[in-house]
Structure 1
């Protein structure tokens, strides 16, 4: 899938959609996350580019551990498929489940992977359609962390 480097206009936020945790825990409403930069990655086990991007996201989550919150959203996929896949790639950041693709539909994006980056105020500052390259993600996050 071709990558898009779309930057979103000021003021756009995520819709309020509480999503259940893949791991034990309460449902999470990503639109309420505030205080630090948040990376929300929508993915599925059946999506090849999603699977290839996962190590890049995991490495960035380790690099920016205390300064950026990473959240995966298993989209149009089953909890059992995701739970079986994540340990194999070593992904440790929290995962939410969106079987019906409510979040993806609200973003008006037709396919996966999609990564949405929020600033500390919860405003969308980036929508990446297609997989991130490691250098692009690292550079973007470094700039956002420095600015916040």
Structure 2
């Protein structure tokens, strides 16, 4: 009898363990006031991108994919902001979410690609750390390294508000200077 109970007990314990893992909450998305995960992976040159090295600047981390219409609308706007404000005050990282490398490279290397720092999160490691469930998903990080604003699943109509959030974080002298810093 014990021999029959033991396999049943093992199966029951395995089932409970699998159910507990399946029910385990995913990593929550950082919110305003939080310090986000610092390492975004490697850039296209192979250098590690660490947000700690960007303290003192406004940093935007946006998650996107080529099939996401709102993402494709936001990237040119962010690229223009990067050009106008300059890298001394603003740093934009566009993190591609789990697309094949060939698709990512086709966009990032395109002559029409906005001038941004593109990162490829092929396996979703960074997006998992950021709790990404929907895209577009943007984190606006203040001078102190904490998240000032989070925008998730937004449409093109939201972009003026997002730009206003970014500009409000910039010092007045940066907002008032000539384009390109």
TM-score where L is the length of structure 2: 0.67
Match for 2:132 among 98, 106, 109?
109
Equivalent-residue separation in structure 1 for 2:111 and 2:69 (angstroms): 15
Q: How many residues align?
A: 140
- Residues of 1 paired with 2:159 and 2:135: CA distance? 17
Q: Does 1:135 align with 2:179?
A: no
Greater Rg by CA? 2
Structure 1 residue ranges (4+ consecutive) displaced by more than 6 angstroms after TM superposition: none
Instruction: State how far apart, in whole Å, the 2-side matches of 1:32 and 1:122 are.
Output: 10
Question: 2:18 maps to what in 1?
Answer: none
Higher strand fraction (1 or 2): 1
Give the drift of 1:88: 4.8
Contact 1:17 1:102 in 2 (8 A): no
CA gap of 1:18–1:146, structure 2 versus 1, over 3 A, is closer
Report the Cα offset of residue 96 of structure 1.
1.4
1:54–1:135: structure 2 CA closer, same or farther, 3 Å change rule? Answer: same
Higher RCO structure (Cα 8 Å, ≥6 apart):
1
Q: Following superposition of structure 1 onto structure 2, how do residues 1-148 of structure 1 map, counting pairs within 5 Å?
A: 8-10=31-33, 12-21=34-43, 23-30=44-51, 32-65=53-86, 66-86=88-108, 87-131=110-154, 133-146=158-171
The answer as to whether partners of 1:32 and 1:122 remain within 8 angstroms in 2 is no
Aligned 8 A contact 2:95 2:120 in 1: yes
For structure 1, the residue ranges without an aligned partner over 5 or more in a row are 1-6
